Amino acid sequence: MMDAPPLDGFEARPFDALGETRVVYRRGSGPGVLVMHEAPGITPEVAGFARKVADAGYTVDLPLLFGVPGKPLSPGYVLSSLGRACISREFHVLASHASSPITNWLRELARALHAEAGGPGVGAIGMCLTGNFALALMMEPCLLAPVLSQPSLPFGLTPAKSRALHVSEEELANAKRRSADGATVLGLRFSGDPLCKAARFETLRRELGEGFEGIEIDSSPGNPHGIGRMAHSVVTTDLVDEEGHPTRAAYDRVMALFDERLRPSA
């Protein structure tokens, strides 16, 4: 596992839990934030997002779940990574009412990150294939700032799967309980995203009530910001880091949530 390529600006370290060792890239200091990368892997855009979070005063752990660290995005790379995820025992991409087994390992990582970084708790953001994972990780009491960016599992092959949340009944009940107690679950998506449809956010609003804050960015034809109809990755590939752009506003809200929950005295 420690043969993983270096990632500029990050320290690669092994993390072993539940009998499995994976590489975790770490950067920064301060309260902990777990960044769970999207398909096809830790692309330069994902690494860039993680650097910005770390440089804002957080200890970022970026676990390698699949793909090649630093490899640029391409259609072929996306397809190959999705294919591997589909047959992996760690990812159950069609499960509607159960989370992927890898979330158990990620919970252990979140707990260890909190123990090392200190502070009131940790934040976590999942993207695309990992987008729902922060909801499952709320089973860990130290997770205080969950962010679901374009949560895409289960794949929406049917209307029911498009509505589903990829968590177990126990995990959903826990998220509802914590939301009722004041936790905020932040969700991000583009309005035309075929992988994360409006129905999934409707389910989140129905189940979590005021505990869910959904940001849905207009990507319809002719939208005022010229966002493409295939836009998917809100805070990475499709982020336009310019004041006044809706993706920049979404990124700023993610950072504000981390500040609110992980630096309450600031």
Per-residue pLDDT of 21-77, as tens digits, reads 999 999 999 999 999 999 999 999 999 999 999 999 999 999 999 999 999 999 999
Report how far apart, in Å, the C-alpha atoms of 46 and of each of 63, 160, 161, 173 are: 12, 30, 27, 31
At 229, the pLDDT band (50, 70, 90 cuts) reads very high
At 1, the pLDDT band (50, 70, 90 cuts) reads very low
Check pLDDT > 90 for residue 6. Answer: no
The structure tokens 């640029």 sit at 72
| Rounded mean pLDDT, 77-81 | 92
Is the pTM higher than 0.85? yes
Report how far apart, in Å, the C-alpha atoms of 244 and of each of 176, 190, 225, 241, 250 are: 33, 16, 10, 9, 10
> The tokens of 122 are what?
């940790």
The structure tokens 């089973």 sit at 139
Check pLDDT > 50 for residue 141. Answer: yes
DSSP type of residue 78: H
The pLDDT assigned to 178 comes to 98
What is the CATH architecture assignment of 11-262?
Answer: 3-Layer(aba) Sandwich (3.40)
**CA distance linking residue 242 with residue 239, whole number of Å:** 9
The pLDDT assigned to 3 comes to 66
Check pLDDT > 90 for residue 85. Answer: no
Beta bridge partners of 142: none
Burial 209-246 (b: 16+ CB within 10 A, else e): eebbbbbbbebeeebeeebeeebbbbbbbbbeeeeebb
| Structure confidence by residue, pLDDT tens digits, 148-172 | 999 999 999 999 999 999 999 999 9
The pLDDT assigned to 68 comes to 93
| Rounded mean pLDDT, 223-241 | 97
Check pLDDT > 50 for residue 116. Answer: yes
> Helix or strand or coil: residue 107?
helix
The structure tokens 């509505």 sit at 163
DSSP type of residue 182: T
